[in-house]
Structure 1
């Protein structure tokens, strides 16, 4: 059989078409990214490092800033355009309307910009999307129902925008781990999420209505506050019975016979008597327990003012003269009844009274310059911590206003007060107990059960910085700072995420005290008042980087670090544990430079916490991109 020869020109023409097709796909992705950025930036030419995006270069091989590709540099995996001063419009069609890009893109970070517009239904085509973060923008409109079709989605953060409409049924995304939608204008009812799988969840400060689905104890009221028409657990607002429930109850009631009702009354009466006897026995046992409870006092050290260092019972002896550890005498009952404990919006301590605190079993955990802390066991077997502050020169009225103002400012990395009490001599604050302790113990203690590696330390630094930046921004008109920021005041919640405790409990003073900030010059300007917090945060960064105490070998940590840096022995300052795990020296140095800016002697020369958070997020993004580039 004779073969028909193939003309040479046909072979070259086929190769040309193949090459052209391959190039057109690459050009399509590149062109789509450029159009996406142009829309986000309003075609601005002032894009900083993003100005290097160009059609004449390759997103992967030429490493476009903010673009992370696979290990072979052939497809785009992630986009990091957060904190890029973008003020244009979001058009996901440029990402999800191009098949090759939609098939590879998994992570999109656009947070901390001023982007407007909304999320279009075209996002459905980005099937591989796992992380979509757009917090702190100006996005609006309804959320498309197509969002729930993204089955691979793990983290969705749409918080701090202007979204309206109802929430789609996100229960269809079984693997969703983070859903943050606070501070929007969303309405309607909350769909039934898989709350057991969620690690972070917040829909506070919206216009949501109806009964809260059963969260199975995974989330507290703070995730739902600021929705005046929400009801049900974990909020302290009971839901009114529905018409169906009322009709059902009436139907059941009408079917009862007189004999059944009579038996029911007898059973109810017996149950009441049994409950009364049980409560008497329980109160007697509790008094005995308080009488025999050992008081453990931690010696005063660098963490004397941390939230978790004390108990409560005996401390109120100075407030209620002659108060015994076993309870309140009859002579003091009138005084106690007039003592008002203000319970903030929290179901954990709903109905808690001042007298309940005094009688509850308590354990002192520690004592510091500004007061003591106590661990208290409530009747519902929940542990809380009570912070006692003595001789704070602020009136009860001012203190109440301050605490109510702080209660309105919510951030997941700032521990809110559950209740407070104020008298002329003393102030008390009730907080939720955090059993994982504080950052000081993990950095300088003997707890080795949790690996505090470089990635974890960087994540902690970023979360604290963002939380402080948020608080400073929200409270700038009130001029409420933390005032005593240090590693012992950074608690670790059940998910090992940092929580800033005791925010706003600084002493009012006209001159520097003997604390860590004594060397810092004070200014009366509204901006400079927050610079003490920046200094305290800088010291925490130095602790994270060096692993050393604030007083290192009898020398102040900031002085020691700066002396080593001046001698150009910079690597010597870093914790050997970080160097042994081959953490990037370049990024260690970058974070060290941020810390040194924060602890500048001149408050005016220190950056704001917004600037600090942006710098740390940049380092974090670089670290994540570097880690991705080494993936097999």
Structure 2
């Protein structure tokens, strides 16, 4: 009976093992080459401790951490007295590398362009060494980078375009010799920023949140933050032919403008004569018009398929004057007309106590969200003033108003449609379990900061949100959280009674200047409870608040928290700290509630503790 010779199987197993270890061999060679240059050829004498040799597993080496697939993920070599150079080509050949920490050594030389090949890097710490030369432009290709520390080196030249790294949250570059202008980062996303004691020049960007200490020692800077007026930009020199051409165009413009005025007045004169005979007919038709405003036809269902909306437009002069759409400055919408809203198909997204929300779809594929407000006894003049004031207050975590419309019985507010849904759907949808603790903490911080900004900007006008809830917190296309429908209703949320929180009672501060702002604090506290418990809010949050208080009254227990957070290993201590913030916000006494700035400080302190703990665990 024929069979496989007994000696074939061992050879096959040997070949199989060699093939399986080939990837490890490649990473081992890359690491040894990197470490040889980093240590200037002088490896530590205690080989048994560091384990850096060609016969051992790289995952067992000092300073190397691997992922579950035994692929090198982190290289952490700080405080080792290394005095060589950084071999970017070798280290960036590791496909799973996410963390490279070599701070507090004596590494010198320049950073090569190959550093841009470390595509998966989230942390790059080069600080407290002797690096020199220019930071290569290829660093701006590290799109996953979260933290970049290059402080206390000898870097020089202009910084690369780090604003391209949209997720960057930390950039420390103090005590170098960088020149040029400070890049225009998205400072609303940054948590750490310092470029002090360099040679930067030019205007200071809007980085008030980091203060003057973040730019100290840069004598060439100017602007409000450094109390130095920036010189006017030098006028560009112009050739004589160009000047002559511009003069010709200027005079031609004057001539065309005069012709436009002549045509306009002539047309107006002719039109007025034609319409004099029709005034009586218009007056007769006024009585036949049921409503002087445009109406959007509503369906009885919460959601309806997209279809042409039915409109009835009054023909009176009054309604013609009222049918104007006031467009608020918004870069997302270059041009929008009221007629476009009339003709576009609309889908009813939802109906609430204070109005209905529609998705209006245009032929070019763009969409708008239109809020139709009902039963608000506010004059057209006051409404227009209110919306214009809200439109001037801009914050990354507050959805801007695109336009608004107001008539006697109709008020519409237009926003850019956000297709990623709301915080309510994120919490209570089918994938709510994927909403981890760190994300929920970031959401709480973003909402608080946006609310704090609006309260500060609109305090004198007495304009609070009025109807803050998780369904009014929407997600942009970049999955950033934004407060929507700010200031669309003057509503004071009722406050639960101190006796067991069982009954509704009117907020005792109602009618005072800070009453609507204290009501916002209560509603924000309910949102925090939603984030912590994962439970639905009913009865304006009183049921949820009552249940939380009943659990807390017994003792601090994990029973109050969302099971998905507990199973995910979220810090009980920090969840309890955020719960305490929520309980302060829903205090039955409005005077005992903190102000929103105090809430922001408390939440950001918890967030910083969480990030510090997460960083230490990863390192």
TM-score range, shorter chain: 0.5 to 0.7
Give me the whole-angstrom Cα distance separating, in 2, the residues matched to 1:145 and 1:130: 22
Give me the whole-angstrom Cα distance separating, in 2, the residues matched to 1:387 and 1:310: 18
Instruction: After TM superposition, give the deviation of residue 105 of structure 1 in Å.
Output: 9.4
Inter-CA distance 612–296: structure 2 relative to 1 (3 Å threshold): same
Instruction: After TM superposition, give the deviation of residue 500 of structure 1 in Å.
Output: 0.3
Q: Are the aligned partners of 1:310 and 1:372 in contact in 2 as well (CA < 8 Å)?
A: no
Instruction: After TM superposition, give the deviation of residue 451 of structure 1 in Å.
Output: 2.4
Give me the whole-angstrom Cα distance separating, in 2, the residues matched to 1:340 and 1:461: 38
SS of the counterpart of 2:599?
helix
Q: Could you list the per-position Cα deviations for residues 362-398 of structure 1 after superposition, in whole angstroms to 9, with x for gaps in the alignment?
A: 1111211111111111343310011001231111111
Partner of residue 386 from structure 1, selected from 360, 365, 370: 370
Residue in structure 2 matched with residue 303 of structure 1 by the alignment: none
Give me the whole-angstrom Cα distance separating, in 1, the residues matched to 2:126 and 2:445: 19
Give me the whole-angstrom Cα distance separating, in 1, the residues matched to 2:309 and 2:495: 31
Inter-CA distance 169–475: structure 2 relative to 1 (3 Å threshold): closer
Give me the whole-angstrom Cα distance separating, in 1, the residues matched to 2:418 and 2:458: 25
Give me the whole-angstrom Cα distance separating, in 2, the residues matched to 1:313 and 1:332: 24
| 1:602 is the counterpart of 2:613 | no
Inter-CA distance 445–598: structure 2 relative to 1 (3 Å threshold): same
| 1:530 is the counterpart of 2:543 | no
Q: Are the aligned partners of 1:444 and 1:549 in contact in 2 as well (CA < 8 Å)?
A: yes
Instruction: After TM superposition, give the deviation of residue 567 of structure 1 in Å.
Output: 0.9
| 1:472 is the counterpart of 2:472 | no
Give me the whole-angstrom Cα distance separating, in 1, the residues matched to 2:135 and 2:505: 54
Gaps of 5+ in 2: 1-74, 81-102, 109-122, 140-144, 150-154, 172-178, 193-199, 209-236, 246-296, 497-501
Partner of residue 418 from structure 1, selected from 394, 398, 402: 402
Instruction: After TM superposition, give the deviation of residue 568 of structure 1 in Å.
Output: 1.0
Instruction: After TM superposition, give the deviation of residue 294 of structure 1 in Å.
Output: 11
Inter-CA distance 71–521: structure 2 relative to 1 (3 Å threshold): farther
| 1:355 is the counterpart of 2:339 | yes
Instruction: After TM superposition, give the deviation of residue 530 of structure 1 in Å.
Output: 0.8
Residue in structure 2 matched with residue 297 of structure 1 by the alignment: 301
Q: How does 1:559-574 map to 2 (within 5 A)?
A: 559-568=546-555, 570-574=557-561
| 1:521 is the counterpart of 2:513 | no
Give me the whole-angstrom Cα distance separating, in 2, the residues matched to 1:187 and 1:396: 49
| 1:540 is the counterpart of 2:527 | yes
Q: Are the aligned partners of 1:311 and 1:373 in contact in 2 as well (CA < 8 Å)?
A: no
Q: Are the aligned partners of 1:102 and 1:125 in contact in 2 as well (CA < 8 Å)?
A: no
Q: Are the aligned partners of 1:483 and 1:507 in contact in 2 as well (CA < 8 Å)?
A: yes
Residue in structure 1 matched with residue 602 of structure 2 by the alignment: 615
Give me the whole-angstrom Cα distance separating, in 2, the residues matched to 1:533 and 1:477: 16
Give me the whole-angstrom Cα distance separating, in 2, the residues matched to 1:517 and 1:125: 66
Give me the whole-angstrom Cα distance separating, in 1, the residues matched to 2:586 and 2:569: 27
Give me the whole-angstrom Cα distance separating, in 2, the residues matched to 1:517 and 1:441: 28
Partner of residue 345 from structure 1, selected from 329, 333, 342: 329
Inter-CA distance 131–545: structure 2 relative to 1 (3 Å threshold): same
Instruction: After TM superposition, give the deviation of residue 311 of structure 1 in Å.
Output: 8.1
Q: Are the aligned partners of 2:441 and 2:607 in contact in 1 as well (CA < 8 Å)?
A: yes
Q: How does 1:310-321 map to 2 (within 5 A)?
A: 314=309, 317=312, 320=313
Q: Are the aligned partners of 2:466 and 2:520 in contact in 1 as well (CA < 8 Å)?
A: yes
Q: Are the aligned partners of 2:494 and 2:505 in contact in 1 as well (CA < 8 Å)?
A: no
Partner of residue 583 from structure 1, selected from 570, 574, 580: 570
Q: How does 1:52-201 map to 2 (within 5 A)?
A: 106=125, 131=147, 148=159, 155=168, 168=181, 170=183
Q: Could you list the per-position Cα deviations for residues 194-232 of structure 1 after superposition, in whole angstroms to 9, with x for gaps in the alignment?
A: xxxxxxx9999xxxxxxxxxxxxxxxxxxxxxxxxxxxx
Instruction: After TM superposition, give the deviation of residue 628 of structure 1 in Å.
Output: 1.4
Q: Are the aligned partners of 1:547 and 1:574 in contact in 2 as well (CA < 8 Å)?
A: yes
Give RMSD over aligned pairs: 5.1
Residue in structure 2 matched with residue 324 of structure 1 by the alignment: none
Q: Are the aligned partners of 2:78 and 2:105 in contact in 1 as well (CA < 8 Å)?
A: no
Instruction: After TM superposition, give the deviation of residue 316 of structure 1 in Å.
Output: 5.4
Greater relative contact order (CA < 8 Å, ≥ 6 in sequence): 1
Partner of residue 368 from structure 1, selected from 335, 352, 357: 352
Inter-CA distance 563–509: structure 2 relative to 1 (3 Å threshold): closer
Partner of residue 462 from structure 1, selected from 442, 445, 448: 445
Give me the whole-angstrom Cα distance separating, in 2, the residues matched to 1:409 and 1:517: 36
Inter-CA distance 378–333: structure 2 relative to 1 (3 Å threshold): farther
Q: Are the aligned partners of 1:313 and 1:357 in contact in 2 as well (CA < 8 Å)?
A: no
SS of the counterpart of 1:375?
strand
SS of the counterpart of 1:404?
helix
Residue in structure 2 matched with residue 558 of structure 1 by the alignment: 545
Give me the whole-angstrom Cα distance separating, in 2, the residues matched to 1:335 and 1:407: 25
Partner of residue 477 from structure 2, selected from 483, 494, 519: 494
Residue in structure 1 matched with residue 53 of structure 2 by the alignment: none
Q: Are the aligned partners of 1:520 and 1:532 in contact in 2 as well (CA < 8 Å)?
A: no
Q: TM-score, normalization: structure 2?
A: 0.53
Inter-CA distance 619–203: structure 2 relative to 1 (3 Å threshold): closer
SS of the counterpart of 2:566?
helix
SS of the counterpart of 2:159?
helix
Give me the whole-angstrom Cα distance separating, in 1, the residues matched to 2:520 and 2:305: 25
Give me the whole-angstrom Cα distance separating, in 1, the residues matched to 2:180 and 2:461: 34
Count residues in correspondence. 393
